[in-house]
Structure 1
């Protein structure tokens, strides 16, 4: 998940903030609890607002490649317009600088939107009887 760079988790039990690994991000996405790397208690994302923000990260994944394509196309059009005589050299330089500036600002904003700290809540462990029923149900499906 390339959009997930910069996502951290904050454990409510041990009050530690840590970088989430890809398998932990997958567990959050499918709403499965996982263990804290420090206190080993079960954690799960409980806030609906943060879950919506986390799931909305996919829309930012294509910003960087699309901005690269747009900037390259703008630079080529400005170069071609200068070659045809529609723009002066100074005009072509101004268009190129504005395109690169817009590229850098948009990519920085997208990276800022992708950085978040998820507040992970401690869950109570399931009773052994309930875990046994879940395991039996899963084994009978196979």
Structure 2
């Protein structure tokens, strides 16, 4: 998955440019490692606790789409079996299926909206080894 599909941007504290974060930069942010800006070559790091929490919450959004897909497929299969057994009419099964598909697309849209964030990257503090 590329950074463009993830939609995470970073704003450099030095040059004030917005960067499309590469996967290796996202990995550096995840393990709290500084990295260099691709424009001004200064060292950057994510230090804001609120943004760190929001960045780490993206992991749960990745599972949301897959689990919603499994839920919708199960619901469609159950509705199909209920219609086949005679517990639902064809029209009720169609309405149920359309509702399940609508819920899936609403959840996917919500997840994509939550993924598009711009992180404020601050100057990295010197590491003491």
The TM-score normalised by the length of structure 2 is 0.90
Which residue in the other structure is 2:74 paired with? Answer: 73
- How far apart are the structure 2 equivalents of 1:59 and 1:124? 29
Structure 1 consecutive aligned stretches of length 4 or more whose deviation exceeds 6 Å: none
- How far apart are the structure 2 equivalents of 1:27 and 1:58? 15
Secondary structure of the structure 2 residue equivalent to 1:10: strand
Which residue in the other structure is 1:89 paired with? Answer: 90
Q: Is 1:9–1:18's contact at 8 Å kept on the other side of the alignment?
A: yes
Q: How does 1:23-34 map to 2 (within 5 A)?
A: 23-34=24-35
Q: How does 1:1-142 map to 2 (within 5 A)?
A: 5-123=6-124, 134=129
C-alpha displacement of 1:95:
0.1
Q: Alignment length, in residue pairs?
A: 128
Deviations 1:64-120 (A, max 9, x none): 111111111111111111111111111011000000000000111111112211000
Q: Is 1:9–1:20's contact at 8 Å kept on the other side of the alignment?
A: yes
Secondary structure of the structure 2 residue equivalent to 1:13: coil
- How far apart are the structure 1 equivalents of 2:98 and 2:125? 56
Deviations 1:30-85 (A, max 9, x none): 11110001111111112111011111221112111111111111111111111111
Question: Which of these two proteins has the greater Rg computed from alpha carbons?
Answer: 1
Note the residue ranges of structure 1 that are not aligned, 5 or more in a row: 135-142
Note the residue ranges of structure 2 that are not aligned, 5 or more in a row: none
The TM-score normalised by the length of structure 1 is 0.82
What RMSD in Å do the two structures reach over aligned CA positions? 2.1
